[in-house]
Every structure is written in C-alpha cells, then in structure tokens.
Amino acid sequence: MVRKLERTLILVKPDGVKRRLSGKILTRFEEKGMKIVALKLLKLTTEKAELHYSVHKEKPFFRDLVNYITSGPIIAAILEGNNCINATRNLLGATDGSKAQPGTIRGDYSMGIEKNIVHASDSPESYQHEFPIYFKKEEIIEAQYGDEPHIY
C-alpha cells in the first residue's frame, strides 16, 4: 500500500468562529480520520495576514481578504493524514460556498467566496509557507494517538 503521509494547515475563518461552528468543523476533519497535531485560537495581525496571502497580493480582493481574516478570532490547526492536502480540500468543497456541493463544509455552511468558513493549504509548498506563520516547531505534537488503522 502506497501511503502519502502529509500535513496541512487549516483556518476556521472569523465567520466560522463567530457562528460557533469551530467544533463542528474540527469534528468533520476528525471524523474523516485526520489527526490534529497542532491547534490554537488567535487573532491574526495585518503583517501575518499579508504574508499568508502574499500569493494574492496583486489581486483586486487582496485588501478585503486581509481586512476580513484579521477582523476577529480564528482557529488555526495542523492536520495530518494520508494524502491530507487533497483530502482536506475535497472536504471543504469549492472556494465559493454558493457553488460548493452539499455535504462539503463550505457547501453546508457558506453562501459566499469571502466568508467561506475555512481555509486549507492547496499544496505542500503552500503548507511550508503557511504553517510557520501560526506555529513554532515545538507546538506541533509528534506523538501517536495509538492504533490508527483508519488514518492510513
């Protein structure tokens, strides 16, 4: 069996936290079989938000995106699992919640493209760029939970 053990960074955005959906959203990832290896509630600074979204800095929506993601508390987590980046994005659904399939997180909880509930890294390179904005290496827990056949 070929395994691709990966990590990804997810954010429950300000609309998700404000609507008290954080627990439900984390449950979706856990029930899928992903392991939470780092987790925190924080309010992002403008500098960190600009760094996170630097790939979009020439886009017309960049300033709105930064203003929005810094507007309230967010939850940041690192998830681990087999093929985790792709699996997470499949669970999120399309970027625009109004177009996302029912059954996906955005499909179930979002009607927009800005307030789209959750962010997730879209590639291993994005993960490497994003995770140090939120976590120090020592905040990532390497320990196994126990026997985890469903994850792999």
Does residue 94 belong to the site contacting ligand CMP (CB under 6 A)? no
* From 25-33, 103-111, 114-122, 128-136, span contacting ligand CMP (CB under 6 A): 114-122
Q: Is 86 in the site for ligand CMP (CB under 6 A)?
A: no
Distance between CA atoms of residues 84 and 81, nearest Å: 5
8 forms part of the interface with ligand CMP (CB under 6 A): no
Q: Does 126 bind ligand CMP (CB under 6 A)?
A: no
Q: Binding of ligand CMP at residue 114 (CB under 6 A)?
A: yes
- CB burial of residue 137 (10 Å; 0-12, 13-18, 19+): exposed
Q: Which of 36, 39, 94, 113 binds ligand CMP (CB under 6 A)?
A: 113
What is the CB neighbour count within 10 angstroms for residue 123? 12
- Is position 150 annotated as part of the catalytic site? no
- SS3 at position 11: strand
Locus of tokens 């990532």: 140
Give the span between the Cα atoms of 8 and 29, in whole angstroms. Answer: 11
- Residue nearer to ligand CMP on the CB measure, 62 or 141: 62
Q: Is 100 in the site for ligand CMP (CB under 6 A)?
A: no
Among 41, 45, 61, 150, binds ligand CMP (CB under 6 A): 61
With the C-alpha atoms ordered 102, 94, 132, 76, is the resulting torsion angle positive or negative? negative
CB–CB of 6/56 below 8 Å? no
Q: Which residue ranges make up the site for ligand CMP (CB under 6 A)?
A: 61, 65, 95, 113-114, 116, 119
What are the residue numbers of the active site? 119
